[in-house]
Amino acid sequence: MPLIDTFVSLLKMNLKNNILIVDDIHPVFMERAEAMGYHCDYRPTIKPDEALQIMGNYSGLVMRSKFKLNRQYLDAGTNLHFVCRAGAGMDNIDEAYAAEKGITLINAPEGNMDAVGEHAVGLLLALMNNFNVADAEIRAGVWLREANRGYELKGKTVGIIGYGFMGQSFAKKLSGFEVNVIAYDKYKTGFSDRYAREVSMEEIVKHSDVLSLHIPLTAETTGLVNDEYVFHFKKPIFLINTARGKTVQTRAVLNAIKQGKILGAGLDVIESEKFPALAEQEWYDELRQSNKVILTPHVAGWTFESYRKISEVMAEKLRELSIVHSP
């Protein structure tokens, strides 16, 4: 074999086990991947354009949300066999094009499902009991008991849209509150369990006292919660969104609050995230001044515990993938 052919063969063998990591992840992933024979190139501070230039040198990519893994990046990754998304949502990856190129996609919703479920419950309890308002008033020297009278969860109907890992986790966390949990999922049937009963969207709209979103961002779900959608609810609701910000039109939420259709909204995600972009939205001042809204900075699935669990889940799925494709 000519020397140049030998060099190319050795290079390809090395590329087969190289993983580029472009975001901060727990070290346990690297430890377990390297135990499987992979070499991890950990570059959490790498810039998107820098990553683009070296994508072709790796068979694996681990990312969170540093950049959109679009056709440009996937074409640059000429040796990519798999991409690990350190989290649940895959909306920053062109899944269809990755499938065309034979690239396996791995995500880890099992790793942060408990975090999301607990965060959603926390937002709901805070809204129903005016925690944010009461806290601010007392700090300002105001003591108002009657104005901060809350609602009990017991006996309420909680409607869940999307009954995957996150929706199921939320339903399970609610099981001790003696609520009626109903769930709608366009892509699943026969999923009723001890924590939730499968229903139609019509029943969600008719019966819900609480609406909680646990859906991915797709062309179908973008702007799902708009003025018309909220209008059809038969009862005033509390709205929880720990899924993706663009599934809810913020202006529609604020309109519904003024109309009494939404009693309170707990938003971990919103249409525009991070500053200065968020402050430039026409509805931002009204949103930040509303005492009917509680905002958190897209942290529902990002706890100290989930930081590790996400990496453990990704490593286990990589191990299973490696077993399947081993000679």
296: alpha, beta or left? (left if phi > 0; alpha if psi -120 to 50): beta
Query: Is residue 273 among the annotated active site residues?
Result: yes
**Sheet of 18-21, strands arranged across:** 39-42, 18-21, 60-63, 82-85, 104-107
Alpha-carbon span 58 to 311, nearest angstrom: 19
Q: Which of these is catalytic: 197, 207, 251, 298?
A: 298
Q: 38 with 17: CB under 8 angstroms? A: yes
Distance separating alpha carbons of residues 82 and 134, to the nearest angstrom: 49
Would residue 118 show up in a list of annotated catalytic residues for this protein?
A: no
Alpha-helical segments (H) within 208-325: 227-231, 250-259, 284-289, 304-325
> Per-residue b/e over 286-303, b at no fewer than 16 CB within 10 Å?
bbeebebbbbbebebbbb
Give yes or no: 244 in active site. Answer: yes
Among residues 32, 64, 119, 244, the one annotated as catalytic is 244
Angle between helices 131-139 and 109-128 (to 10 degrees): 60
Amino acid at 14: N
Secondary-structure breakdown of the chain: helix, strand, coil percentages, each rounded to the nearest 5: 45, 15, 40
DSSP annotation of 244: -
Q: DSSP string covering 140-202, please?
A: TT---SGGG-----TT-EEEEE--SHHHHHHHHHHGGG--EEEEE-TT--S---SS-EE--HH
Nearest 5°: the CA angle 271, 206, 113 is: 50
CA distance linking residue 295 with residue 287, whole number of Å: 9
178, 202, 273, 320: which is the annotated catalytic residue?
A: 273
Q: What is the layout of strands, in order, in the sheet containing 210-213? A: 197-198, 180-184, 157-161, 210-213, 237-241, 262-267, 293-295
In degrees, to the nearest 5, what angle opens at C-alpha 194 toward C-alphas 189 and 197?
45
Catalytic residues: 244, 273, 298
